[in-house]
Amino acid sequence: MESAVANLLSPGEEAIVASCGAFGERWGKICVAYGAKPIFVRSEWGTPTDPEAVRKALKEHPKAGAVFLTHTETSAGTVNDLKTLGSIIRETDAVCVVDAISGLAGQELRMDAWNLDCVVAGSQKGLMCPPGLAMAALTAKAWKKVESSKSPRFYWDYRTIRASVPQNETPWTPPVTLIVGLSEALRMIQEEGLENVWKRHLSLSRAAQAGLKALGLKLFSTAPCSVLTSAYAPDGIKGEELVKRMRVELGVSIAGGQEQLKGKIVRLAHMGYMDFSDLVIGLSALERMLGLMGYRVPEPGRAGKEAQAALVS
Ligand SMILES: *Cc1c(COP(=O)(O)O)cnc(C)c1O
């Protein structure tokens, strides 16, 4: 994410930052660190970015050099309508920059067809590898911005990195073990077929939604993404305690809320190599811990059943 800002913007330049959660906010913080001027288009956490609000911001700030977007906002479990956003940004001089760190290989993403100019991702989410590798893809429109940017950069300089590609090299010592791991992960994805991978994630997200609802929980996001499902912690149950006790007492890791959502929501990840068995274990551990904490599940055992039914249909 930092490399995208360092290469695409210049100090003093305006940029639209569409934020619907903690990762959208991060785009803004990086812009400030590089002396750029973020103009926030915020929606409530859990609600996706409104494309019309982005259109309006671009009209009001015609000099904005970039629009920063999030594919799947993992802090809230929300997917953004990148196709519509891309078609709006395309009509302007701004480049469309997407954080697809958790969404890549988990949810439909079509860089060329949707007019996305720079997409960044990491090795540790849908790509199933340990953390440590980052990737960025750029269109010709984005490369023009890279060439005109006046931001200081060295390690992150896309121009230096691009120059070593024809030699099949990287400018600096690469994390070879991670690259070998990534190539195996990509082989697995290719074998299954990318569209089938998207479908599998979508199916898991439907199962997670059905399971959480059967536990009597209210889903948090109005546009749930495929890679992670979020729900409000029930009244009287402290989300942080729930997450911690599940990990310590039942050996199952789910996530709580970040920043303003701390203690208020729980998040079940189902990306990458996570499969239906993991999801069922997660739901049943959640049911057990909710019970231990004094919450009455509407119908014990129903979550697994509902998840199964949602998955099959
Ligand atoms: C995980 C993630 C990142 C990377 O954040 P870390 O703090 O390095 O874990 C960025 N954006 C999104 C949407 C993510 O899910």
Q: What is the model's pLDDT at position 311?
A: 86
* Same domain, yes or no: 161 and 218: no
* Same domain, yes or no: 203 and 126: no
Q: Answer whether 78 contacts ligand 1 (Cβ < 6 A).
A: no
* Same domain, yes or no: 158 and 203: no
Q: Whose CA is nearest to atom 4 of ligand 1?
A: 101
* Same domain, yes or no: 224 and 168: no
Look up the CATH number of the domain holding residue 227. 3.90.1150.10
Which atom of ligand 1 approaches the CA of 72 most closely?
Answer: 13
Q: What is the model's pLDDT at position 312?
A: 67
Q: Answer whether 74 contacts ligand 1 (Cβ < 6 A).
A: yes
Q: Which of 99, 133, 225 to mutate to test the pocket of ligand 1 (most atoms within 8 A of CB)?
A: 99
Question: Total structural domains in the chain?
Answer: 2
The residue among 138, 161, 185 that closes a domain is 185
Q: Whose CA is nearest to atom 12 of ligand 1?
A: 101
* Same domain, yes or no: 36 and 160: yes
Residue 187 corresponds to which amino acid?
R
Q: Answer whether 230 contacts ligand 1 (Cβ < 6 A).
A: no
* Same domain, yes or no: 170 and 232: no
Residue 101 corresponds to which amino acid?
I
Condensed to tens digits (0 to 9), the pLDDT of residues 142-187 reads 999 999 999 999 999 999 999 999 999 999 999 999 999 999 999 9
* Same domain, yes or no: 174 and 298: no
Alpha-carbon distance values, 214 to 85, 187, 291, 300, 310 (Å): 34, 37, 14, 9, 11
- What angle is formed at CA 233 by the lines to CA 18 and CA 45, rounded to 5 degrees? 10
On the CB side of 67, CA atoms within 13 Å amount to: 31
User: Which tokens in the block code for residue 52?
Assistant: 């019309």
Distance 250 CA to ligand 1 centre (A): 26
Q: What is the model's pLDDT at position 61?
A: 98
* Same domain, yes or no: 30 and 108: yes
* Same domain, yes or no: 105 and 235: no
Range of the domain at 269: 194-312
Q: Answer whether 27 contacts ligand 1 (Cβ < 6 A).
A: no
* Same domain, yes or no: 76 and 216: no
The set of long-range contacts for 256-260, using a CB threshold of 8 Å and a minimum separation of 24, is 257/75, 257/230, 258/22, 258/75, 259/22, 259/75, 260/45
Q: Quote the CA–CA distance of 26 and 10 in Å, as a whole number.
A: 18
Closest CA to 269 of 212, 313, 206, 226: 226
Look up the CATH number of the domain holding residue 77. 3.40.640.10
Q: Quote the CA–CA distance of 88 and 53 in Å, as a whole number.
A: 11
Q: Quote the CA–CA distance of 106 and 253 in Å, as a whole number.
A: 20
| Spans of the chain, pLDDT less than 50 | none
Q: What is the model's pLDDT at position 80?
A: 99
* Same domain, yes or no: 141 and 59: yes
